[in-house]
Structure 1
């Protein structure tokens, strides 16, 4: 409606994208596309380890498998991944999704990045993770990742928060409903449907504890697929929020003080854990994890633990970054065994330490190497 459009323009007055008339685009997206031409958007992780980049090329066939897609290059000196004198970085397609923005036969193509001598770039964590997944294939590791995030306006304040001061204290917002409880649901719904269309194994979504904070989950997925799905889901979240003129941050502590931070709780199980009396295997895994706490903290955010330090304080439903702990149904522990798992004596464990801006490949890699490869 006119009123809500005007309101959002007031709230996002500094956001150039919010001011654009989005309905004009449909006129062009509705143009018939030649049968022998498709658009393939190549997507990759930049040198920060958390930024996502993309560019599009035209193909004259509909790809069914990543191996059919051509390699490509980009300017790594503009993505913090190469020097200007030798700036070409290679894109190797590894997964294909349907494109919910362009639709039709158009595709999203997730890529790994390689330097000119074809070694993985420093932020290509997928390469090493995939090696670990191949080594433990027989155990069929499952991952379910809970991605928390926060909407921001162009002042970098959480969307809809008063310009001076704060909203009412936490309590009514988690899984809330109502105009005074939730902010930005349109983006959440658009993202959910786009993920389903794309082929992302998205499991659900909910409003989080802090106003303007949300969560979606991917999985359970076997092996490398969980990380692939999460990166594509993140790309779609940023891309869809862009159309609304809203910023998405994966910062683990977007607001200081007693406001909840954001994590990427990772649920992990193996075939042995899912069998009768698998709780024994879960406890063995927790024992191994307890001895590798520092290694995991270093792998669980892009800055080797520095980001998580602001979040893992032992308050606001987090454990302390300095101590390893585990417990049944304990949201203040490093590792939580869900109540239902303890009762069934089989299932999975939840690692609550990964930061919202973690690289899921690093997290899944660390879990497999510690719990299964005994590294």
Structure 2
């Protein structure tokens, strides 16, 4: 596996490239131009700037996350072709600087959702927390207010007016899952041929959490959804960002089994752990703790001879660190060492 680390850019991250390059086994950064609104073409000079910054510290910039999909594409509006064209142009620019994988998602309105970004755990650390009962009673617009942070959150536009968000939610509530699937098919049929030509692998991220929230359609929730995705456009470039934490929040999902089934369609993996509370709640934990057996997950990748990119995904805030929720330095670095420990043990065990 090829270890990478998500980095949000100069002035938008408490973690520095100098720190990232000191984590053993990390070879590159996972990046994006987070301040460019979804649907806009990325400027080449900004793309080249990030690549240069990474390379100055001996890191590559081969994985982009996220090149966000405009809501008009997800809604299937007549304007979608213009935004798809911008998406294709950005793909061409990214390929020109050596990008190999683009992670994206088809979550509507909210992207990933939590109800508490700083849940205090028994050991004093703080973590991302999802409280199912709170979701059932909170106004989505109130949740949106909570998402306003000093640093940008992935897939979230803090500048979007409340009125616009309210109208968007209502439109999505009238959209069926089958209609959303059809809109995804339309998008993939437009971009996968471009990806094939450019040598880029697209990798869709599952819904997080993997069930409907606020009555909105969600279509990347489980094994059957991933199977359907791979059949929509049957190409190695139509791939999956298999996120153990997102899919693993539903105890019915066998994450290790999914790794084994879809290994050749997983160019990028997020590996993290969650503690499932049994009432729909879950909290993110260290990689070693939690309800998921990450040994079995890593073993599945190892058994399949996985050579794709991996990142530790979210981490807790520990040792007094304060930064972007889920994206501090220390716990993610510890997570990397746990993953490498499992991998190295599997490597050496298999050679005896």
Q: Which has the higher strand share?
A: 1
Query: Do they superpose with TM above 0.5?
Result: no
Q: Which has the higher helix share?
A: 2
For the pair shown, which has the larger CA radius of gyration, 1 or 2? 1
With normalisation by structure 2, the TM-score equals: 0.29
